Structure 1
Amino acid sequence: MKIDKLLNSPWFVKIVAVFLSVMLYTTINMDPTTTPSTPSLLPTGGDQQEVIANVPVNVYYDKDKYTVSGIPESANVYIKGPGSDVTKAKLQNEYEIYIDLSEADLGSGRFDLLARGFSSKLDVQIDPVVANVILHEKVNQIMPIEVDFLNKSKITEGYKAEEPIVLPNNVKVSGPKDLVQRISSVKAYVDLKDATETIMKNVPLKVFDNEGNQLELEVEPTVVEVRVPITAPNKTVPISIERKGELPTDLSIKSIEVVPNEVTIFGPLEELEKIELIENLEIDLSKLTSDTSMNIDVPLPDWAVKVNPDKVQVNVSIEEKVEKVLEDIEIKVNGSESTKVTFVSPENGKVDVTILGAKSVLDNITAEDIKVALYTGDYKSGQHKIDLEVSGPQNVEWKLSKSNVTVKIVKNE
């Protein structure tokens, strides 16, 4: 018979042996608690059971009129049924656990946790089964926002936090009437640790009662923008330019302009009280032969936090040097009022002064602008030769017809 021939065929026996080996291997290695990802070579039977843990619980109610408490954050769901339906439910995640309060009255009550989105072939059990829920009348209150600073003592030395700016500066707080009535403040917290510049950040809000207890209420908006200016004590002082070297002999400075001519120094208050100007800004005249503009760094004192601006522009205007003679400038005598001074040479007590500088500068200088003086305080009675001292406008040089004078001093005893 054909069947006998088939059974006696070595190829048929080999094929059957391979098939049985595959089925035996699959049976031994298959996980009995899960549905295989590929169709089994052997038929399966019976129900499969799974637990879906920590499923969020949704709640439905009129959120414009009410608030609720007592809703569990999550529930565990136990499902049992055909393996393919159990696997599909877990993988597709189309189910929902919820509590329906749309027809509930104000006050407390026990409400079932409900499920939907599961196959009708599945047996679904929820833990917990019910929840003790309170439905409250919802009330609103507009509250200003207070900004509290954290680590205020740890702000960078020399800096301080100014008045914060909050946008928006008021928020709507909603919740049960008994909780809303307890509201004392709505706060935003800003950390000042190591701050050196203005802080701008979005900050979540917290609601507190008079005793500092945080209240769980709805806040709209939940986050506000806070801007905290961070500054240091400061003082505005002028700038002093120091000159190094000399211009070529045929040139003179018409003007030196500093832009800006003042800077603001930030630092400890006790140091700011001592400083009157910024020095050590130096220009080298020996390198200049014509009008020049240059940017110079403003030196920062060791104790200062910063200086603003940190650079200034120095504009130097240069012209050809000319001369102008101012005749008969009276010599002023400085010394004790009890000392009598008589000029021996020159007898009239006057000298000529030749001033040198830019023509546009000299044109505006008169004899009243030049002061020539001598000092007799250290001299005893008798005749003495004393050097003269001259003072006058900036950017002007001078030469005296006599650099010293002879005077007779009589001191009253």
Structure 2
Amino acid sequence: MNLLGAQIGTQDVEVQVEPLGERNGLRIIERIPTLHSAGAPPGTVRVELKPLVSQVVPVSLDLVGAPPMGYEPSTPNVEPEQVVVSGPEDLVSRVAAAGASVDLSGVVSDVRQTYSLEPRDESGFIVAGVTLDPGSVDIEITVEQKRFSRLVVVSPSLQGSPAAGYNVTAVELDPASVTLLGPLELLNVTSFVVTDDIDITGATSDISRIVNIVGLHQGVSIISGSSTVSVRVRIAAGQGEATFGVAPQWTGLASDLRVVSVAPLVEVTLQGELPTLRNVSPDQVTASVDLSGLGAGSHRLEPQVEVPDGLEVANISPTSIEVVLETVP
């Protein structure tokens, strides 16, 4: 088929079949004179010739994925930044850019690599039937760790004091620590984070709150754990002691006897929860001696002490008292 002198457009071209000698035992034994394209005269082929054109298009990068948290890629350096696309005019006109895909997923080091290019239209679809010159580009991307991580404890901010006689016995947090992400110079001066204020003024029982972590430096964020914290403040009555001076009382004195001498006071030391101790009045603590069966004379007896429920006797002084009895005249 001789296209010499053919014009741009659709035309019928005569097909000439000539023997080239035998090849691998094959030879032409018959010519087919009816070789032609549909609608073309016999012995011809309908051919459409299109002009070939070239144009310069930019290189476009499709960055897929991202480096791990804390790592940041630089602006890609592309060489060359433009390439020549060649082919039929109608196809070349559709090419908007020469595209290459660069996968940055999990990348923590610099990228220096040659990537193949694909002719793409404005929608990103590949345009077939054209060529690119050059067909590849050198791409360099610097990947640098700009932010670092650090595990720090959470410190609750308690405001006020429990009611008199009560103490904070424990503070439970969930989570008790969080991981921060930020510039190294800020993380180096951050050893803990604080919560919103938790008011425990006058509390007599446990307090539970969900509060925010506050006061983070600008550029620092929480990447592991929550920005809210569940806080439980354990509050219990404090333990203490109180001493009372108690006048001894007696029981079981015979009708023909009288008490001549007895210790004026017995010091009774009680221990227990402070709120209970604060509410004890002296008449609630008694010390008694049993004189049943005793005759006239001097007797040393141990006082029997009774105290309010919830309290214990820590000490009695003296542990025994002398009682002198005599016969009634």
The TM-score bracket by the shorter chain reads: 0.3 to 0.5
When Rg is computed on C-alpha atoms for both structures, the one with the higher figure is: 2
More helix by share: 1
Which structure would you say has the larger RCO, counting Cα contacts within 8 Å and 6 or more residues apart? 2
For normalisation by structure 1, the TM-score amounts to 0.30
